[in-house]
Chain A
């Protein structure tokens, strides 16, 4: 069984895939305000799938407005696997 990721690990993946400095990644900020486009979201989901073996559908993420919500959703999906 895979060890559940920490929030910091998920943030690091987002920073890498969306090419944003990690210190800018404030959980309360909206994805839009961080310039995280839908293609970046897909890139993050692919990286999460590659690393943790958990497939997350893009449609599941459309409810996320803030970075915190996005991270929580990933944590929940990965943790539930």
Chain B
């Protein structure tokens, strides 16, 4: 019999704020985090544009559990993950629980490593002509630092891995975590993603790609220009159902399906066939027929090609049954967290199922015939039991998660 996978802890930080409560309330109220932004954060601006930055981070929650010296030198990439994970593990009531020591794994999705640390180190070399960089540069900036720091701080001795699949990283992390539990390899997995890509080097690189909007993020709208970068982390505690029930944990929802495919087509262009295949695979995995009405948390980046391709794939998969479903696109509120996006969108989608309310897609200024899907253009009351959360990354790496209301 398949082991069911419960969501027993949730935590996040983004430009919307710190903690799931703040992120959800701003999302449902339609108060997006995208704002005028410039880098460097202190000093003469070198690049400006819309972004969804984290302006301040309250780390007192970390101080409650950990000595300052234990936390060590960390990049924002790790800091965001620690803040979100502490919230999630507290929420699950697992701080100090023996299961962390024995039967817990960590799977963290990141698109890139510690950009701020690398930027700072390389400025010494290239800008100032210095010959050395800080000896902690590699351990601070390595893409696996968040997973290692989480393991050290919480005393988690199971497998601790980082999954990198660009913008789908944390969706893949959640899906693979679900399978670890189903396979009996762990009773608990701390899973999600983090990204700290709002540094000058990273932002310029994204900008050079021509993928960034100069106004704001308008998923599925006419006149959409592209994506807007955000930053932050979203971490969940996934737990074997019986384990959660036996210890009396509060179950927020269930992760019931995961579909992952690779387009094997192009390094930046999305491919409708691969996307469709991932959605179908997730439904097959969940045993959820395609004609059951669902809340769809789209990838919805706001780029011309991505949104049109995703809309076409959604329409092709669901057909006429789609009219009873509803599509949300919360990147219009929190921006694109790259490796953190999939997990944050799954969390917010699960909250929407719980609350029976779907947040409006922000900044939509008119229908695009190429995006003919049922969009949540206003905040709506909903009664869906299932969430389909899409993540489609550069390089054609697709991950679709299906959640169920508890």
A binding-site residues for B, Cβ under 8 Å: 18-20, 35, 39, 42-43, 46, 49, 55
Contacts and interface: CB of A to CB of B under 8 A. Distances in A.
B135 A19 contact: no
Nearest to A42: B135
A2 B134 CA distance: 23
Contacts of B134: 42-43, 46
Contacts, number: 18
Contact of B69 (A35, A42, A55): A35
A39 to B, nearest CB: 7
A8 to B, nearest CB: 20
Contacts of A55: 130
A43 B136 CA distance: 8
Contact of A39 (B68, B71, B130, B136): B136
Contact of B73 (A20, A35, A43): A43
Interface residues of B, number: 9
Contacts of A49: 130
A20 B72 CA distance: 11
A55 B71 CA distance: 27
Contacts of B130: 49, 55
A31 to B, nearest CB: 14
A19 B68 contact: yes
A35 to B, nearest CB: 7
A53 B7 CA distance: 50
B136 A20 contact: no
A55 B275 CA distance: 53
A60 to B, nearest CB: 14
A39 B137 CA distance: 12
Interface in B35-89: 68-69, 71-73
Most A CB contacts (10 A, CB to CB) among B71, B72, B73 go to B73
A30 B72 CA distance: 21
A20 B67 CA distance: 10
B46 to A, nearest CB: 18
Scoring A43, A46, A55 by chain B CB atoms within 10 A of each residue's CB, the highest score goes to A46
Contacts of B136: 39, 43
Interface string B104-140: 0000000000000000000000000010001110000
Nearest to A15: B68
B82 to A, nearest CB: 14
Contacts of A43: 73, 134, 136
Interface string B210-251: 000000000000000000000000000000000000000000
A51 to B, nearest CB: 13
Given A39-B135, A43-B136, 16 more contacts: A18-B69, A19-B68, A19-B69, A19-B71, A19-B72, A20-B68, A20-B69, A35-B69, A39-B136, A42-B134, A42-B135, A43-B73, A43-B134, A46-B134, A49-B130, A55-B130
A43 B134 CA distance: 7
A2 B204 CA distance: 31
A43 B135 CA distance: 8
Contacts of A19: 68-69, 71-72
A22 B329 CA distance: 46
A12 B130 CA distance: 24
Contacts of A20: 68-69
A18 B69 CA distance: 7
A39 B135 CA distance: 8
